[in-house]
Amino acid sequence: MKRFSILLSLSLFFLSGCNSLPDPHICPTVAAPVGQGNVTVEVLAESDSSWDGATLPSYPTEAAQISVVKFTIPPHSKLKWHKHPSINAGYMISGEILVTAEDGQTQVVKAGEGLIETVNTWHYGRNDSDMPAEIVVVYSGVKDRPLAIIRDAQ
């Protein structure tokens, strides 16, 4: 699976104490916080493209809005066809899902894995297991723009 840095870099910047570096505007992609204790950093995904190989779009110039959303997908259920107008990435907390794009490409995401989602590509997720699948998704969106658009015809 490809790795993501955009969202992780932002998260690490704000959580890692990069503002305590000599130049707070420069922070390594993966930096451990300054202070006591042993901190480990594991990049779960990092890429300039989504899981289906499409290059991620440039960030919009409108007012940014970050959303962190936890989804719990019941066992043996399928999400509706949808697409995301903004860059987003997820971390599978538990269970696993199969993501299927309109062109037939698929990606299995298992607990502990990161996923860089498609942008403006119709797709759906499916949980074929006997347990709920939990995923946290971070959307790098735009104020007043939906996180997902649901396709009318299923």
Pairing assessment for the beta strands 106-110 and 149-150 based on DSSP bridges? unpaired
- Domain for residue 97, yes or no? yes
**What tokens appear for 152 in the block?**
């009318």
* pTM for the full predicted model: 0.74
Does residue 1 sit within a domain? Answer: no
Does the residue 139 lie in any domain?
yes
The tally of domains found in the chain comes to 1
pLDDT tens column, 42-100: 888 888 999 999 999 998 889 999 999 999 999 999 999 999 999 999 999 999 999 99
Task: State the pLDDT at residue 36.
Answer: 65
Residue 69 sits in a domain whose CATH number is 2.60.120.10
The residues pairing with 94 across neighbouring beta strands, listed in sequence order, are 134
Dihedral sign computed on CA atoms, order 82, 52, 29, 37: positive
Predicted confidence at residue 60, as pLDDT, reads: 85
Q: Say how far apart CA 121 and CA 43 lie, in whole Å.
A: 25
Q: Is residue 70 part of a domain?
A: yes
Looking at residue 30, what is its pLDDT? Answer: 57
Q: Report the pLDDT value the prediction gives residue 94, as an integer from 0 to 100.
A: 98
With respect to residue 16, please indicate whether it lies within any of the assigned structural domains. yes
Domain that holds residue 126: 6-150
3-class SS at 137?
A: strand
In terms of Cα–Cα distance, which of 55, 18, 77, 1 is closest to 9? 18
- The Cα-based distances of 17 to 28, 29, 32, 53, 66 in angstroms read 11, 13, 8, 33, 20
What does the DSSP 8-state code read for residue 66?
E
